[in-house]
Amino acid sequence: MTINSLRAKHASLIYQEYQYQVKHNQLLIEFKFLLEPDIVFTPRLMIDHVSEDMIAALPQPLWQSLIFNLGLAELPSYWKCACPAVIKIEAGHLTAEQISWWQDLFLKGMGEFYYVNHIDFTQENFLTIQTSALPEKTIKTVDMESLPTTHYRQPFLIPVGGGKDSGLTLGILTQAKLEYDCLVLEPTTPAADLLAQASTCGRTLTAQRIIDPILLDLNQQGYLNGHTPFSAYFAFFSLVIGHLFGYQQILVSNESSANQANLLYQGLSVNHQYSKSWEFEQKFRSYSQQFLGCDKHKAEYLSFLRPVSELQIAQGFSQFDQFLPVFKSCNVGQKHNQWCEHCAKCLFVYLILAPFVEQTILFQKIFSHDLLTDETLLPLALGLLGKAEIKPLDCVGTDQEVLVACYLTIKKLTSQHQPLPILLEKIQQKVLSQYQPEELKLLSQKILTSWDEHNNLDTKLTNLLQSAITLSS
């Protein structure tokens, strides 16, 4: 099926309604979307350990707004199958400012989807968002003063995805002996549960997101599929949890390296990690403060690792032995709790850890073999090093970080009088040989001591992260 035929067949996607109920200490949220003319989607979310009293404790305009907006965050996953020209919002009302915010997310958060599917999103009237003006569908503005400060008693909620980034956040809070809880969204990777179990969190909150199987059937029939800004959905979901359970701060683990785009397409900088970027964090915080009752230490969303790079994260994470054998980041194999060892993400993680983790630990406790001996991974390595047409479409660090990681690993192996594995030898010949040793040395010092001032950390969190990074250097 082509984009034009699908858009002709399906004129609009309508967000018709949302509803929720609490049963057996579990909150069930259900959304209803209509892909005109006759395809109905009903995505659901089930959150454990929720009572009616917890919902009643919140101002009801806030609660309605949280659920309504969570439904909006679900829309990209269902809109993408046919890319209808119009999204109609009947479940609630959006201001002109909100419509502009969501159109921006559909542009920048879906950039990779447009690129992979060869979609010209620049055409006139490509996507219009229409909103209901009916009074009964209007979500009232949340009165910030009505939010009781005493409700937000829990300090930190840590969303856990199973990778080294959230692992480092858990390790730092554990080392500092701070109280925190974990948040896991299922279906998840076994590694997320294992990281939470290996930490000292007070409890792990769980929820289950259920994709409507009709969407999966449509994908099999030839409807469009591809990358959506999942971290944006997770951000809205985490606010629901943050307000319900009374958390002061929601600490995600997105780093400064997430800001680097992968490629340029139709004039748009396409970033696989857009919804993990500083730009999105700022826009989301502004939106959540205006429309979702968030304030300083009232379900405040921020990235704890924003000031630092992937290379610094790898260096810090390498200090926490309890997490090294259990974390997983491979999109191909993580559902089965393994690394596929053939993708860009696997190679990136291996390269970024290699300077700081002993080789035997890398290919015995984390991976199944030494990836640096696999010459077939050279094209992926060159892509990670910025020597290919595009940066691999995955959650990987910058090309300079990979360059420095390779430099530091070669330096380590050379000092230990070990021969260079074939992949590292090829990287040395094709890439590192183009640089002067002093140039690489200065670049490594720059990256390993960097601190991005574009962050939302308060003084306490700043001191905590700086101490951890200093200790690991």
Tens of pLDDT, residue by residue over 319-337, are 999 999 999 989 887 778 8
Predicted confidence (pLDDT) at residue 307 exceeds the cutoff of 70:
yes
Q: Are 225 and 113 in contact (CB under 8 A)?
A: no
What does the block give as tokens for 8? Answer: 């002709």
Distance CA 82, CA 222 (A): 10
Please state the CATH superfamily assignment of the domain spanning residues 3-137+150-303 in this structure: HUPs (3.40.50.620)
Q: Give the tens place of pLDDT for each residue, 349-400.
A: 999 999 999 988 998 899 999 999 999 999 999 999 999 988 888 889 999 9
Distance CA 44, CA 66 (A): 15
Report the pLDDT value the prediction gives residue 84, as an integer from 0 to 100.
Answer: 98
- Mean pLDDT, residues 165-190 taken together: 94
Predicted confidence (pLDDT) at residue 107 exceeds the cutoff of 70:
yes
Distance CA 191, CA 336 (A): 9
Q: Give the tens place of pLDDT for each residue, 208-255.
A: 999 999 999 999 999 999 999 999 999 999 999 999 999 999 999 999
Report the pLDDT value the prediction gives residue 188, as an integer from 0 to 100.
Answer: 79
Report the pLDDT value the prediction gives residue 198, as an integer from 0 to 100.
Answer: 92
User: For the chain, what is the mean pLDDT?
Assistant: 94
Q: Give the tens place of pLDDT for each residue, 287-305.
A: 999 999 898 999 999 999 9
Report the pLDDT value the prediction gives residue 249, as an integer from 0 to 100.
Answer: 98
Predicted confidence (pLDDT) at residue 43 exceeds the cutoff of 70:
yes
Which of 259, 277, 212, 249 is closest to 401 using CA atoms? 259
Predicted confidence (pLDDT) at residue 20 exceeds the cutoff of 60:
yes
For strand 181-186 and strand 26-35, is the pairing parallel, antiparallel, or unpaired? unpaired
- Mean pLDDT, residues 156-170 taken together: 95
Predicted confidence (pLDDT) at residue 145 exceeds the cutoff of 80:
no
Report the pLDDT value the prediction gives residue 218, as an integer from 0 to 100.
Answer: 97
In the chain, where the domains are located:
3-137+150-303, 334-450
Report the pLDDT value the prediction gives residue 223, as an integer from 0 to 100.
Answer: 97
**What dihedral do alpha carbons 143, 298, 147, 241 form, nearest 10°?**
100
Q: Are 179 and 156 in contact (CB under 8 A)?
A: yes
Distance CA 228, CA 79 (A): 10
Report the pLDDT value the prediction gives residue 146, as an integer from 0 to 100.
Answer: 67
DSSP-derived secondary structure letter, 409: H
Better-predicted residue by pLDDT, 389 or 55: 55
Report the pLDDT value the prediction gives residue 230, as an integer from 0 to 100.
Answer: 96
Greatest mean pLDDT among 34-43, 130-139, 186-195? 34-43
Distance CA 433, CA 313 (A): 26
Predicted confidence (pLDDT) at residue 144 exceeds the cutoff of 80:
no
Predicted confidence (pLDDT) at residue 189 exceeds the cutoff of 90:
no
**What dihedral do alpha carbons 406, 410, 412, 413 form, nearest 10°?**
130
What does the block give as tokens for 420? Answer: 């260079």
* Cis peptide preceding 84, ω within 30 of 0: no
What does the block give as tokens for 385? Answer: 């090093």
DSSP string, 335-375: GGTS--SSSHHHHHHHHHHTTTS-HHHIIIIISSS-GGG-G
Q: Give the tens place of pLDDT for each residue, 58-94.
A: 999 999 999 999 999 999 999 999 999 999 999 999 9
Q: Which helix (H) or strand (E) holds 156?
A: strand 154-159
Using the CB atoms, write b or e for 317-356: b if 16+ within 10 Å: bbbbeebbebbbbbeebbeeebbebebbbbbbbbbbbbbb
For strand 26-35 and strand 39-41, is the pairing parallel, antiparallel, or unpaired? antiparallel
